[in-house]
Amino acid sequence: MTCLPAKTDKKLGLAIDLDTCVGCNACVTACKGWNDQGYGAPLSDQNPYGADPSGTFLNRVHSYQVQPADAAAITVNFPRSCLHCDDAPCVTVCPTGASYKRAEDGIVLVNEDACIGCGLCAWACPYGARELDAVAGVMKKCTLCVDRIYNENLPEEDREPACVRSCPTGARHFGDFADPDSKVSRLTAERGGFALMPEMGTNPVNRYLPPRKKDALDASPLAPLLDIKATGFAGWLDRMLGKI
């Protein structure tokens, strides 16, 4: 249904650590692979071996460069997927009720059977989280692997989104932001996790953990044992080995 729940019991989402993400794209293809055979229609690819390939992906990794005014430029890898917003505009614009936010855990989903593929939800999303599948004609988006996280056919330890399970650096954390003691809440608090484009008023659940301060190495130079020019190598050797 189209109206947003007044409050969700949980706020499931991801905390993504930009200080740790090396931009390897593991999450991208783990997501593609799982969701190609998981929730809803497959994630189709057009011209997969052609001149202009194009396919549906629910998670993509950008890479940005940031040039500070007076320091070396840095490179930041930046995974982008649905942020499962509290005030999800993609839900309220949906004319059919296909787009909805689950009351129990806050996951924003598309009921593909009710989706007419009008694309308005994708227009309403500031984050590019939704892609209309060219074959199925319905809107695809991150489900937070709703078919994994509660799946009793999976071992307990595997009940997390495919992107989180596959992330080699552990830069993606899954959990309940409504619980202040959860790992994602603690990480967000400790590391100053931020929301994307707050000016859009979407109140995203997902948080990004910022890169730590770079190029701040300031160890003072080592003091020489002695003045080698004055003592010669023999003097250095004596001082050096006298320490043993």
Partner 1 sequence: MHPAPSVILFTVLSGLGFGFLAALGLGIVQPAGWAAFALWGLGYGLAVGGLLASTTHLGRPDRAWRAFSQWRSSWLSREGIAAVATLLMLAPVALSDWLGLGWSRWPGIIGAVLALATIGTTSMIYAQLKTVPRWNHWTTPAQFFAFALAGGAMLAGQGAWAVILLVILAASLVAHWYFGDRRFAEVGATMGSATGLGALGAVSVFDPAHTAGNYLLREMIYVVGRKHVAKLRVLALVLACLIPGLILLAVAHPMATAAAVLTHLIGAFAARWLFFAQAEHVVGLYYGKR
Partner 2 sequence: MTQVRLNTSPKVSDEIRRTTCYMCACRCGINVHLKDGRVSYIEGNRDHPVNKGVLCAKGASGIMQVTAPSRLRAPLRRVGPRGSGAFEEISWDEALDLAVKWMKPLRDTAPEKLAFFTGRDQSQSLTGWWAQAFGTPNYAAHGGFCSVNMAAGGIYTIGGAFWEFGQPDWDRTKLFVLFGVAEDHDSNPIKIGLGKLKARGGRVIGVNPIRSGYNAVADDWFGITPGTDGLLIVSLIHCLLEAGKVDLPYLAQFTNAPLLVVNDGPEKGMILKNAESQPFVIDRRTGQPAPWDGKGVEPDLGATWQGHRTVFQHMAERYLSPDYAPEAVADRCGIPAARIRSLAAELARVAFDEAFVLNQPWTDFRGNRHASMPGRPVSFHAMRGISAHSNGFQTARALHLLQIVLGTVEVPGGYRLKPPYPKPVDAHPTPHAISTPGKPLPGPHLGYVRSPEQLAVDVNGNPLRIDKAFSWENPFSAHGLMHMLIPNAHAGDPYRIDTLFLYMANMAWNSSMNTAEVMRMLTDKDADGEYVIPRIIYSDAYASEMVAYADLILPDTTYLERHDCISLLDRPISEPGAAGDSIRWPVVEPDRDVRGFQSVLLDLGARLGLPGMVNEDGSPKFADYADYIVNHLRRPGVGPLIGWRGDGSDAGRGAPNPQQLNRYIENGGFFQAHVPEEGAFYKPWNAEYQDWAVKIGLYETPQPYLFSIWSEPMRRFQAAAEGIGPIQPPDHLRDRLKQAMDPLPTWYPPFGQETAADYPIHALTQRPMDMYHSWGSQNAWLRQIRGRNYLYLPTKIWTEQGFAEGDYARLTSPTGTIVAPVAHMAALNDNTVWTWNAIGKRKGAWALDEAAPEATTGFLLNHLIPECLPGDGRLSNSDPVTGQAAWFDLRVRIERVGPRPHAEPAFGPIPRVVPQGMERAHPSSDALGVSSGDPRRAAQPTRSGGGLQR
30 three-state secondary structure = helix
Beta bridge partners of 99: 110
The nearer residue to partner 2, 70 or 199, going by C-beta atoms, is 70
192 three-state secondary structure = coil
- Please compute Rg for the chain using Cα positions: 24
Q: Which of residues 25-44 bind partner 2 (CB under 8 A)?
A: 25-26, 28-30, 32-34, 36-42, 44
CB neighbour class for 150 (10 Å; exposed up to 12, middle 13-18, buried from 19): exposed
x-marked contacts with partner 1 along 31-50 as a string, rule CB under 8 A: --------------------
Does residue 199 bind partner 1 (CB under 8 A)? yes
Q: Would you mind telling me the total number of residues written for the chain in this entry?
A: 244
Answer whether 130's CB lies under 8 Å from 121's CB.
Answer: yes
Tell me the window of 80-88, 174-182, 197-205, 215-223 that interacts with partner 2 (CB under 8 A): 215-223
HSE-CB at 179 with a 13 A cutoff on CA atoms is 12
Tell me the window of 8-16, 85-93, 198-206, 224-232 that interacts with partner 2 (CB under 8 A): 224-232
Q: Which of residues 177-206 bind partner 2 (CB under 8 A)?
A: none
**Which of partner 2, partner 1, none sits in contact with 201, Cβ below 5 to 8 A by type?**
partner 1
199 three-state secondary structure = helix
Q: Which of residues 104-163 bind partner 2 (CB under 8 A)?
A: 109, 111-114, 135-138, 146-147, 149-154, 157-158, 162
Does residue 98 bind partner 1 (CB under 8 A)? yes
